[in-house]
Amino acid sequence: MGGFFAAANKNDCVFDLFFGTDYHSHLGTRRAGLATLGKDGFNRAIHNIENSPFRTKFESDFQEMKGNLGIGCISDYDPQPLLVRSHHGTYAITTVGKINNAEELSNEIIKTGAHYQELSSGSINATELVASLINQKDNIIEGIRYAQERIEGSMTLLILTAKGIYCARDRMGRTPLTIGMKNDGFCASFEKFAYLNLGYSDYKELGPGEIVIMTPEGIRTLVSPSKDMKICTFLWVYYGYPSSGYEGVSVEEMRYNCGASMARRDGMTRDDIDNVAGVPDSGTAHAVGYANASGVPFSRPFIKYTPTWPRSFMPTLQSRRDMIARMKLIPVHELINGKRLLLIDDSIVRGTQLRETTEFLYQSGAKEVHVRPACPPLMFGCKYLNFSRSTSEMELIARRIINREEGEIVERDVLTDYVNPDSDRYKNMLEGIRKQLGFTSLSYNRLDDMLDAVGIPRENLCTYCWDGRE
């Protein structure tokens, strides 16, 4: 995934930019960057954050950078922000999104005589590709609209120029972009909580496709928002920080509601289980909601060790990520031994970590481990956001179980039947997952219950990864 922050202040903005960007560290693990613009021109810094958190890597830059305009990002993939010089002048750009037709677009641009400077793991930097698309048009506004129209996937971006900071939300609103304000300026942020402790208050959420320009003096709308929106529902279920919110819906409150709806449908009581627990961190609020609705006590049978293991310290190699995820969890044996536990995680992707967590609980003396993921089975790889490092749908445990039952080629109508929680195929799939991962019982949250927990119109929510609907 990734996240970003921008500040446009009458005074120096670097303090706000530094901490506002740092507040997005839960969204990315590879690289981070800052770019500022002041009387001395542009200044930029990019660092690898795989082996050290953002604040450590950028401490010296924080002391040296100056400017009243700035953008910063946390990225799970390409280095950014990029500095670009074109007929629009010099600007810095950072993006959050996914480009499915990158090769087609880059080949078109190369035919015009352009070339690419930034390569990441041998491929073109997606942010530079966006800049190249923008540069095809006579002005930045037309360029942003052109880029978003041509990109298959999603694209939300910030562009730092001498005129101000252009803020553009994805044309379907798949990712958020919120403006905050205080007495000496404005900020733009992926996560709206990121500016609250910096003295900003909510100004507005950009709508789908909306483009504004932000200066220390104000916000001017350049392109009005459209009515059609498909914001990613997974932001509430997992990716969003608990204190954040999107479209007026609190992440933490949604997770409470999600857990409560699971409890009401599940019907488990103290006769069935002794405690409800959440896999930290994102499963915790779901578990609290379940416990409150069911009357079964909430407990923390394992604690996530965070002092030296921040979210940003995660290798890109999946096997190492799994190992570190295990190392973070410290058992509380007194709350495990002999207990019938109901465990809630935000989701099951590959199943590797949750299987190992379950084994860890059994080895620590748990009598039973009942698992309740807070969202339905993930059936399709996301086409719109880089929220997972999965390179194939066959890495999803639900699809592996289906292929084992149906063969390698599965027709779309068969997959649709597996999506239906009332079908026999769905029930057989759940039993296959339960056996493979070693759970006492398994029941996923239903899609309709999960969407009700969000509480905004269903047509405005993207559910592609669960039901394959475009």
Q: Is the pTM of this model over 0.85?
A: yes
Let me know whether 312 and 458 are in one domain: yes
The set of residues, in sequence order, having a beta carbon less than 8 Å from that of 9 and lying 6+ positions away, is: 16, 68, 69, 184, 185, 186, 216
User: Tens digits of per-residue pLDDT, 285-303?
Assistant: 999 999 999 999 999 998 8
Are residues 25 and 37 in contact, defined by beta-carbon separation less than 8 angstroms?
A: no
Let me know whether 356 and 208 are in one domain: no
Let me know whether 310 and 455 are in one domain: yes
Q: Is the pLDDT of residue 367 over 60?
A: yes
Q: What is the mean pLDDT of residues 242-266?
A: 97
Strand pairing of 41-48 and 368-371? unpaired
Are residues 26 and 60 in contact, defined by beta-carbon separation less than 8 angstroms?
A: no
* Structure tokens that stand for 209 in this block: 């496709």
Q: Is the pLDDT of residue 81 over 90?
A: yes
Model pLDDT, residue 116: 58
Let me know whether 152 and 284 are in one domain: no
Let me know whether 161 and 298 are in one domain: no
Q: For residue 168, list its beta bridge partners.
A: 157, 211
User: Tens digits of per-residue pLDDT, 189-227?
Assistant: 999 999 999 999 999 999 999 999 999 999 999 999 999
Let me know whether 205 and 275 are in one domain: no
Let me know whether 316 and 179 are in one domain: no
Let me know whether 334 and 440 are in one domain: yes
Let me know whether 292 and 441 are in one domain: yes
User: Tens digits of per-residue pLDDT, 92-150?
Assistant: 999 999 999 999 999 898 887 666 555 455 578 999 999 999 999 999 999 999 999 99
Number of domain units in the chain? 2
Q: Is the pLDDT of residue 451 over 60?
A: yes
Sign of CA dihedral 67, 68, 74, 77: negative
Are residues 93 and 127 in contact, defined by beta-carbon separation less than 8 angstroms?
A: yes
Strand pairing of 441-442 and 368-371? parallel
Let me know whether 223 and 347 are in one domain: no
Integer CA distances (angstroms), 56 to 22, 181, 318, 325, in order: 10, 28, 24, 22
Structural domain that includes position 264: 254-467
The set of residues, in sequence order, having a beta carbon less than 8 Å from that of 105 and lying 6+ positions away, is: 99, 129, 133, 150, 151
The set of residues, in sequence order, having a beta carbon less than 8 Å from that of 243 and lying 6+ positions away, is: 193, 196, 251, 252
Rounded percentage of the chain residues whose pLDDT exceeds 90: 79
Let me know whether 103 and 141 are in one domain: yes
Per-residue confidence band for 77, with pLDDT thresholds at 50, 70 and 90: confident
Any idea what the CATH number is for the domain that residue 56 is in? 3.60.20.10
Structural domain contains residue 206? yes
Let me know whether 161 and 270 are in one domain: no
Q: For residue 82, list its beta bridge partners.
A: 93
CA 236, CA 242: separation in Å to the nearest integer?
Answer: 9
